[in-house]
Amino acid sequence: MIALSGVTKAFDDNRVLQGVDLAVETGRSMVIIGGSGTGKSVLLKCILGLVRPDGGTIALDGQDVARADRDAFLARFGMLFQGAALFDSLPVWQNVAFRLLRGSLARPRDEARAIAIEKLRRVGLGADVADKFPAELSGGMQKRVGLARAIAAEPEIIFFDEPTTGLDPIMAGVINDLIREIVTEMGATAMTITHDMSSVRAIADEVAMLHAGRIQWTGPVADLDHSGDPYVDQFVTGRATGPIEAVR
Amino acid sequence: MSERDSLTRALSPLGALGRPVLGALAAVGRVTLFALNALWRALRPPFYPREYALAMLHVGWLSLPVVGLTALFTGGALALQIYSGGARFNAESVVPQIVAIGMVRELGPVLVGLMIAARVTSSIAAEIATMKVTEQIDALTTLSTDPMRYLVAPRVVSALVAVPLLVAVGDVIGIAGGYAVATGNLDFNPATYLNNTADFLQWRDVVSSLAKGCAFGGLAALMGCYFGMNSGRGAQGVGRATKGSVEAAAVLILAANFLLTGAFFSV
Ligand SMILES: Nc1ncnc2c1ncn2[C@@H]1O[C@H](COP(=O)(O)OP(=O)(O)OP(=O)(O)O)[C@@H](O)[C@H]1O
Ligand SMILES: [Mg+2]
């Protein structure tokens, strides 16, 4: 279980997170929604220790992550970055198999390559992209390579930062199904950020909405349409008028 | 205006001086920690042999052409200068000795160091800064790979090893440039020229040359990595990091050259 309590983070005078409390049960899929720039990406980075929170605690299975052994902690995670963050000096398959080629999970090159090609297939990419370089791919293809890299070592906990932005509706459907499958079949814990309400419904067990530096609402996905929260309602229906200002 | 005000005003340049000095000291501290961190990690597993090989290729082998050309022209020009300058007091014959000393002790290491700052520091800084702004450094971390160990250590260690070798090559090519000009244009006897060079150079000259190469290489790679890892955001951040790294590397190389020359040759 991932438990955040009172997490705060500011960049100079930009107070992004102002006391986030959130719990994600093991083997569940949590989707985080919220306006652009509200700090969703920063929140995931805080959990991973890429951004150091100013205050509050983050615990994984009851243990404070700030005091955990970094290597063992990170070995349990996979992360898809919002901008894919592929290594542009390495061909696609070595990006996907990065973890399988070095460190404690290292295995023979042929085997790593075969796994990479299999993962690429699962995100809807053919074996022909394996030897291309990231710069030769379209934005949506890069995103999917990033996704393949995040799941390549079959981590227990996976973070997806906007997995379907930039994808066509069919491909978005494929990715939604994949994320759902990873949670239900492999028993992984997932945290996904998305702005796409059909993705939310396809992926989520639970939904949390981040607004003004706090969790505005959290609950099961079935309650999303009758949350009784004006902020969630405005967000779900996409109205320009409501408690959330359109100019931020 | 009270006396106190005028005193404050009179002393204010000191205050203005204090802040940059403190800032500079803090920066020295941060860079030193960064360097120790990188070297410490270079000594402990996991090791990334492929990264070391690639860094060696980029820092060392691919720098050979630019280093060779720089040294060749400088050695040639040096021979011409010493010949025409020496002629003013009938000392034309010292060309081989002065070319040898000038190249090995001073121009070889300094010019190679500056060329490395231009070529290697800038490319390291731009590459790492781009990786930083596109979250590739964060991605490395989440893939259980320590960027200090994977990116920084290979580049710094390769420079420590490769740049002295480049300096040695530069020294030899520089002397060869002087030799070519002296024997081709200035009527020096080839055998005498070589003998004079070999007899004149001392081990201390050569050791100082290599030691400078090691120091300059380390500084060049370190500045590239440090500025890259601390880059600001966006394209502007990458530009600033690159510019800053080359400036810092060049100035530090010249300062280190002064200190090392003092350490080796002041009696
Ligand atoms: N490294 C950083 N330095 C300074 N400010 C930052 C940094 N990272 C994020 N921010 C700021 O934090 C705020 C939240 O950013 P974040 O990327 O988390 O937004 P987000 O909710 O993911 O938005 P989007 O949906 O558009 O991706 C923004 O105002 C951003 O400018
Ligand atoms: Mg984001």
Task: Among A7, A11, A216, name the best residue to mutate to test ligand 1's pocket (greatest count of ligand atoms within 8 A of Cβ).
Answer: A11
- Residue A105 in this model has a pLDDT that exceeds 90: no
Q: Measured between CB atoms, which of A45, A48, A103 is closest to B145?
A: A103
Q: Does B49 touch chain A (CB under 8 A)?
A: no
Cβ A227 vs Cβ A208: under 8 Å: no
Cβ-based neighbours of B154, under 8 Å, separated by 6 or more: B42, B48, B51, B52, B54, B55
- Residue A211 in this model has a pLDDT that exceeds 70: yes
The interface predicted TM-score of the complex, written ipTM, equals 0.92
CA distance B248 to chain A (A): 26
Q: What is the dihedral of CA B258, B259, B264, B265, to 10 degrees?
A: 50
Specify the domain boundaries for CATH 3.40.50.300 within chain A: 1-76+157-164+189-241
- Sign of CA pseudo-dihedral A127, A132, A134, A137: negative
- Residue B203 in this model has a pLDDT that exceeds 90: yes
Q: How many CA atoms lie within 13 A of B89 on its CB side?
A: 2
Position B23 scores a pLDDT of 87
- Residue B99 in this model has a pLDDT that exceeds 70: yes
A222-247 per-position pLDDT tens digit: 999 988 999 999 999 988 888 888 76
- Residue B114 in this model has a pLDDT that exceeds 60: yes
What value does the mean pLDDT take over residues A5-10?
96
Residues lining ion ligand 2 (Cβ < 5 A) are A 41, 82
A122-171 per-position pLDDT tens digit: 999 999 999 999 999 999 999 999 999 999 999 999 999 999 998 999 99
* Interatomic CA distance for residues A206 and B96, integer angstroms: 81
Least reliable range by pLDDT among A120-124, B6-10, B46-50, B176-180: B6-10
**Six-digit token string for B95:** 């060309």
Position A248 scores a pLDDT of 63
- Residue A96 in this model has a pLDDT that exceeds 90: yes
Break chain B into its structural domains and give their ranges.
Answer: 3-265
Nearest to B100 by CA among B127, B69, B71, B60: B71
* Interatomic CA distance for residues B87 and B94, integer angstroms: 10
Least reliable range by pLDDT among A213-217, B89-93, B137-141: B89-93
C-beta of A95 in contact with ligand 1 (< 6 A): no
CA distance A34 to chain B (A): 22
Cβ B218 vs Cβ B38: under 8 Å: no
* Interatomic CA distance for residues B17 and B144, integer angstroms: 44
- DSSP assignment of B179-225 equals HHHHHHTS---HHHHHHHHHHH--HHHHHHHHHHHHHHHHHHHHHHH
Cβ B151 vs Cβ B55: under 8 Å: no
> Where residue A83 falls among pLDDT bands split at 50, 70, 90?
very high
What value does the mean pLDDT take over residues B13-24?
80
* Interatomic CA distance for residues B46 and B36, integer angstroms: 17
Burial class (CB in 10 A: 0-12, 13-18, 19+), A160: buried
Cβ B116 vs Cβ B216: under 8 Å: yes
- Mean pLDDT of all residues belonging to chain B: 93
Nearest to B106 by CA among B266, B263, B265, B261: B261
The rounded Å distance from CA A214 to ligand 1 centre is 14
Q: Which of residues 131-150 of B touch A (CB under 8 A)?
A: 131, 134-136, 138-145
> Where residue B3 falls among pLDDT bands split at 50, 70, 90?
low
* Interatomic CA distance for residues B113 and B116, integer angstroms: 5
Position B267 scores a pLDDT of 66
C-beta of A40 in contact with ligand 1 (< 6 A): yes
Element housing A219 (H / E): strand A214-220
Q: Does B235 touch chain A (CB under 8 A)?
A: no
- Residue B124 in this model has a pLDDT that exceeds 70: yes
Task: Among A17, A31, A38, name the best residue to mutate to test ligand 1's pocket (greatest count of ligand atoms within 8 A of Cβ).
Answer: A38
Position B2 scores a pLDDT of 62
B23-49 per-position pLDDT tens digit: 889 999 999 999 999 999 999 888 899
C-beta of A211 in contact with ligand 1 (< 6 A): no
Q: Which residues pair with A8 in a beta bridge?
A: A18, A55
Q: Does B57 touch chain A (CB under 8 A)?
A: no
**Six-digit token string for A61:** 């299975």
What value does the mean pLDDT take over residues B124-152?
96
> Where residue A94 falls among pLDDT bands split at 50, 70, 90?
very high
> Where residue B22 falls among pLDDT bands split at 50, 70, 90?
confident
- Residue B129 in this model has a pLDDT that exceeds 90: yes
Size of interface A-B (CB pairs under 8 A): 48
**Six-digit token string for A233:** 């309602």
CA distance B134 to chain A (A): 6
Q: What is the CA radius of gyration of chain A?
A: 18
Chain CA centroid to CA A142, Å: 15
Cβ B243 vs Cβ B229: under 8 Å: no
Position B78 scores a pLDDT of 95
Q: Whose CA is nearest to atom 4 of ligand 1?
A: A11
What value does the mean pLDDT take over residues B247-253?
97
What value does the mean pLDDT take over residues B176-203?
94
What value does the mean pLDDT take over residues A10-18?
95
Q: Does A102 touch chain B (CB under 8 A)?
A: yes
Contact residues, chain A, for B123 at CB < 8 Å: none
- Residue A23 in this model has a pLDDT that exceeds 70: yes
CA distance B235 to chain A (A): 15
What value does the mean pLDDT take over residues A203-217?
95
* Interatomic CA distance for residues A50 and A63, integer angstroms: 18
**Statement: A1-76+157-164+189-241 belongs to CATH 3.10.105.10:** no
